Chain A
């Protein structure tokens, strides 16, 4: 089984969540909203780049916008392969968790 990494998983999920508006700045902000961590652009681009190469996401060029100094936004969309990878990791997660005692109430001390 070839699972995606955690950062890739987070980014894929966030792209799904953002839908039409999934581009660099938004993705980064959403990560901040969801996790409370500030990710650098570099740490977003690296997994995005890998995902693009694996064709789990597709990159499309949007219209130029003035707040970006006239440069285009690049939107990301999860592909079918990407969805498949997410399903795989979800299944794996379930498998990992199944049979684990309830960690919310357990106390090992």
Chain B
């Protein structure tokens, strides 16, 4: 510590550190010593302050020189590195192509995923003060358990708004419906609408571009259209003030809103005034009708947690009687609107929606694919290290230190990565539409140029460069010149082991991806082929929007259709298979004890069961002669409903009385076998069927397979004759059902693409590695051939190793894949068994592809003339 005490009067530590970093160790003593001497001199003569100034001046005056020499020498070395890198690319074209194509494919995928994630995270963020917007939900506890709902009783919004000054604005919307819009003899269908308050447009940022911007929905019978729908109905005429008929009610168009941006979940085409919904019977304080979605915007600075506590007991204040009677508990809660797209509160806690799982799945998969590409790079670089060993040796002899060499090789990998990123951008541009189809969202390629995407791109490039370049750089720069230049350039055993591990990792990833894809294929096929409990083939559905048209004459309409011999069965109903039908509140009574139930309810006529080809377990179905009004016609239920109501057997159910809505007593006349009303993702739900002609909306026809086009013509003609002024609109039950699996189809498509990409990149790497290995073994192969090995021996010798790797990768990948898919399948009520066979399929595909890749190289090597390989010895 002798020196330290002397240092007290010396130059500041900071300067010392700067010097230490700037100059080599040898020079440090001299420079620091000189400076110190001059500094002390200066301090003695001119004082401490002047001495400091002196030091700073010295420091600053050296900067131009440093910069100059850095640029000059740095530039010279950079030119050299760049030249060598390009020469290396050029010398080994195959490896460069393998590296860069793999990396650019991976890059393109990751960049797409970057845009995808960004897109989903940006949802609904464009609303002003979105942080202050909340949805008011309700939590109920009863003997049916705890339920959380995002929709509420309709007076809740108004009550909150009137009693709490913390609320800046509240808005309610209710009842999404499918409007039949009629304007000057034209009928427009296939859109969706909702009943809303004007304040909805003050909370949400859906700008009103024409008409009344302040109070568009204040009067009854007013309606707002989106720009697209408005121009569809009115063409170029201004829609404001025009009268249209919506579901047979005359309404005035008061405003037009801008079309929605892509990053919102709203897709409603029209908004009808809340006043039209207000006098509906069920729009009161009634815990059973919680259909209104209530938005509130809190004032700035209000703590949502505290506010939630204040409002949570509102249901108790207004529905105390009902709660007591039904032994229920109900509380309001808030959930942030900004999380609406990715999360749901339906189970009481923040739970990810499908979009979020997509974000996770895709990000994970993207990283894996890029990792496969990085591994290619690492493997090929280290495998070929011996080729660069001499260069390293010479550079070291000339005076390069390790740091410089690491820099050089890192620079080379960054060069590859940057070229790949550029190519990846081109690929992204080309494939964005294709990926968009797979994910069913509209992502614009141009979004990649936004500042945060560019930042993300840079981060990806740097990360990829580091991952793929760091190890090879250290590996390559390690060579000792003495050893290398003597000519001993064989790769070390350590490098080989690592390479094996890396290849096995690559193949493990591809095996997992393969397993996932195969299981998905299997599950989707299973769902599509599974017998639904009824016959879905050759059934055509005609939708009718003017319900009254069918209420009285559905019978004659059916007969008209059935007059054609190609149409064998016909029935009218309120719903169609594949689409959920509404719930109905029913109280059942067993031994005098009542219990509440909410089965799904379908309204249909007496031919429906025959049409679907479903069997009865007990009792009878509706009979044409015995149906009168809905309450006296009785109720047909399915097996699940019978269990739900608490009956021990179907026979017990028949003849029992249940109470619709809690008061109207109805007799159960029959129990049917269970059948799937919707897709196999969901369990078969309890279903009750009633005969209510007022609610019939569809006519379903059973077609003969012969003369389809003729029959279709007949149906269309008949339709126009029977329902003049209506647009002929039809669909097929089986097609409708297949649509239910669109989400799964999409996932399968996505995974197939990604898996193929992964396998492709991994094989590229394997191809390169095998080519190199075979090249290195040329002499060995030559000697073996001379000593009598057959071509077969040689091919087996070479491929054996790679086959081993693939098998190990499979063994590792199987349990992981099994676990992942087990989890995925849990979401489905009816699922395929994973089975043993898929593991062998994965193994066979993996082995097949890997061996094909290697075999090409192996055969080429085995067939080559040994003389060629050995003549230089």
Contact = CB atoms under 8 A, between A and B. Distances in A.
A95 interface: no
B3 interface: yes
Contact of A40 (B6, B30, B62): B62
Given A69-B3, A70-B6, A42 B65 contact: yes
B33 interface: yes
A73 to B, nearest CB: 6
Contacts of B2: 70
Interface string B1-16: 0110011001100000
B58 A42 contact: yes
A23 B31 CA distance: 10
Contacts of B34: 23-25, 28, 41, 68
Interface in A57-81: 59, 61, 65-74
Contacts of A73: 30, 33
Contact of A43 (B7, B29, B61): B61
B584 interface: no
A95 B534 CA distance: 115
Nearest to A45: B31
A46 interface: yes
Given A25-B38, A41-B38, A69 B32 contact: yes
Contacts of B10: 69
B65 A74 contact: no
A98 to B, nearest CB: 36
A73 B31 CA distance: 9
Contacts of A42: 58, 61-62, 65
A72 B31 contact: no
A72 B61 contact: no
Interface string B34-74: 11111011000000000000000110011001000000000
Nearest to B63: A42
B37 A25 contact: yes
A68 B36 contact: yes
Contacts of B40: 67
A28 B33 CA distance: 14
A72 B34 CA distance: 9
A80 to B, nearest CB: 23
Most chain A CB inside 10 Å of its own CB: which residue of B34, B36, B65: B34
Contacts of A45: 31, 62
Contacts of B11: 69
A48 to B, nearest CB: 10
A66 B30 CA distance: 14
B7 A69 contact: yes
Interface string B811-853: 0000000000000000000000000000000000000000000
A59 B40 CA distance: 24
Interface in A9-48: 23-25, 28, 40-43, 45-46
A32 B517 CA distance: 81
A24 B30 contact: yes
B58 A41 contact: yes
Most chain B CB inside 10 Å of its own CB: which residue of A28, A41, A69, A71: A69
B58 A28 contact: no
Most chain A CB inside 10 Å of its own CB: which residue of B6, B33, B40: B33
A41 B65 CA distance: 11
Nearest to A72: B29
Contacts of B6: 66, 69-70
Contact of A71 (B36, B38, B41, B61): B36
Contacts of B61: 40-43
A67 B34 CA distance: 10
Contacts of B30: 24, 59, 71-74
A70 B38 contact: no
B16 to A, nearest CB: 9
A106 B35 CA distance: 45
A68 B2 CA distance: 14
Nearest to B69: A46
Contacts of A46: 65
Contacts of A65: 33, 37
Nearest to A73: B33
Contact of B36 (A23, A59, A69): A69
A50 to B, nearest CB: 11
Contacts of A28: 34, 38
A69 B62 CA distance: 22
B45 to A, nearest CB: 12
Given A66-B6, A70-B6, A40 B57 contact: yes
A74 to B, nearest CB: 4
Contacts of A67: 36-37, 40
A21 B31 CA distance: 16
A92 B749 CA distance: 83
Contacts of A68: 33-34, 36-37
A41 B31 contact: yes
A27 B354 CA distance: 77
A65 B31 CA distance: 14
A41 B15 CA distance: 14
Most chain B CB inside 10 Å of its own CB: which residue of A42, A66, A74: A42
B29 A71 contact: yes
Contacts of A72: 29-30, 33
A66 B29 CA distance: 13
Contacts of A41: 31, 34-35, 38, 58, 61-62
Contacts of B31: 24, 41, 45
A8 B34 CA distance: 19
Given A67-B36, A67-B40, 11 more contacts: A24-B31, A25-B38, A41-B34, A41-B35, A41-B61, A42-B65, A43-B61, A46-B65, A70-B3, A71-B32, A73-B30
Interface of B: 2-3, 6-7, 10-11, 29-38, 40-41, 57-58, 61-62, 65
The 9 closest A-B pairs by CB, nearest first: A42-B62, A24-B34, A71-B33, A40-B61, A68-B33, A74-B30, A69-B10, A69-B36, A71-B29
30 contacts: A23-B34, A24-B30, A24-B33, A24-B37, A25-B38, A25-B41, A40-B57, A40-B58, A40-B61, A40-B62, A42-B61, A45-B62, A46-B65, A59-B30, A65-B37, A66-B6, A67-B40, A68-B36, A68-B37, A69-B3, A69-B6, A69-B7, A69-B32, A70-B3, A71-B29, A71-B32, A72-B33, A73-B30, A74-B29, A74-B30
Interface of A: 23-25, 28, 40-43, 45-46, 59, 61, 65-74
